[in-house]
Amino acid sequence: MSMRSVILSIVSILAASFGVSGQANSWEGIIPLVSTRDQVEKILGKPVDRTYFYGSVYKNDKGRFTVRYALKSCDEGWNVPIDTVLAIEIPPPEGQVNKSTKELDLDESRYFISGDDAFFGTWTDPVRGVQLYFRNMNQSLLWIKYIPTQADNARRCDGFPPFAPEAQYYLYEEMLFNNPKAGKDGGMDSLVALGLFNIVYRAKRVRVNTKARSCIF
């Protein structure tokens, strides 16, 4: 039996492994822009640690998971209450750890593929709200991230650009630059000079958008 007949997509694997049904970007009943911190803690218990980018780390017998929450109004541009889930990051289910895209039989046409200078690859399906992270671009699945979908753009706050996870945009306040003493505009100069990024100022924030799918932070 071919791998394709067994695995229609990575999302179906995850759903089967974790007992999840319904929309593709749901895990253990936790859904970005829908679930709350209280609901997550009823499922996963109290976090064991806090990480950068507003993440709370949880552990159980299935592994270690990071959930990022909205900590303020219009956090990351989303019109959701404080403590609403923005993203969920999980390890691959058993049997899929360190598998290549070929072994997982992924349909490349469904994903936007980007990479960094360390050859870590991000495979993004913005329609289903799923990101897959690989070592060596496509050779070793490291973790999976559930994010809002394209259909969630109706929930963007006024003044924020459409959500485009395949473009890899970031808030200025969440980024570190080579020359932090240069200030906001100076810190961006080297990025703009490379011709790799666009900068959009919105509500005292800066977003940096890649022009090339092969170049991300």
Domain-wise residue ranges, the chain = 3-153, 168-210
pLDDT at residue 51, as a whole number: 65
CA nearest 147: which of 26, 13, 48, 52? 26
Q: What is the pLDDT of residues 8-45, one digit of tens each?
A: 344 444 443 333 345 688 999 999 999 999 999 999 99
Residue 176, pLDDT > 60, answer no
Contact 95, 108 (CB under 8 A): no
**Alpha-carbon span 94 to 62, nearest angstrom:** 9
Sheet holding 205-210, edge to edge: 170-171, 205-210, 197-202
Q: What is the pLDDT of residues 61-95, one digit of tens each?
A: 888 999 999 999 999 999 999 999 999 999 988 88
In order of 26, 33, 50, 63, 214, the CA distances from 11 in angstroms are 10, 19, 27, 18, 24
Residue 2, pLDDT > 70, answer no
pLDDT at residue 181, as a whole number: 42
With a pLDDT cut of 90, the percent of the chain lying above it is 38
Of the pLDDT bands very low, low, confident and very high (cuts 50, 70, 90), residue 139 is confident
Neighbours of 103 (CB within 10 A): 15
pLDDT at residue 30, as a whole number: 96
pLDDT at residue 61, as a whole number: 85
Q: Is the pTM of this model over 0.85?
A: no
Residue 54, pLDDT > 90, answer no
pLDDT at residue 70, as a whole number: 94
pLDDT, greater one: 121 or 200: 121
